[in-house]
Amino acid sequence: MATIMLVDDIAFIKLVQKEVLEKEGYEIVADASDGVDAIEKYKKFKPDVVIMDITMPKLDGINAIKSILQIDPNARIVVCSALGQHQLVIDAIKAGAKDFVIKPFEPQRLALAIKKALK
């Protein structure tokens, strides 16, 4: 099964995401709490999919997406954020995200976004 890295500064969100995704059979290989940590851990763990928040300290998710895609143009990144504004969703997809899941999310929505990203 595919490997996933969770990126969010809020530990509770990562706890919920982990529970949902492990039930679907995915392996969580790493987690990060800011964009800088996300880039370093992407290089180290090379997950199949990254679930990326937008609002984080040090480096936000949109900029982290751009940096990871410069390292690996084939990286699959799904944004999971409460900031589901029209323009920000466009910004995330333009930056290279495969999908945008708005928090609070339904488990099936997150699972579908991962499946879509893996295709």
Partner 1 sequence: MQVEYVNPFITSAIEIFEKVANIELKKSNLTLKKNTTPSNEISIVIGVTGAFEGQVVYSFKMHTAERVVSCMMPNASAEKQKLYLESALSSMANMITGRATILLSGKEKRIYITPPYVVLGTDSKDVKFIEFPTICIEFTSRFGTLEINVAIKPVE
Residues within the interface to partner 1 (CB under 8 A): 9-13, 15, 55-57, 81-88, 91, 102-104
CB of 50 to partner 1, least distance (A): 19
Residues 22 and 40: their CA atoms lie apart, in Å, by 23
DSSP track, 27-78: EEEEEESSHHHHHHHHHHH--SEEEE-SS-SSS-HHHHHHHHHHH-TT--EE
Nearer to partner 1, 75 or 111 (CB): 111
CB of 8 to partner 1, least distance (A): 9
Choose between 11 and 71: whose C-beta lies nearer to partner 1. 11
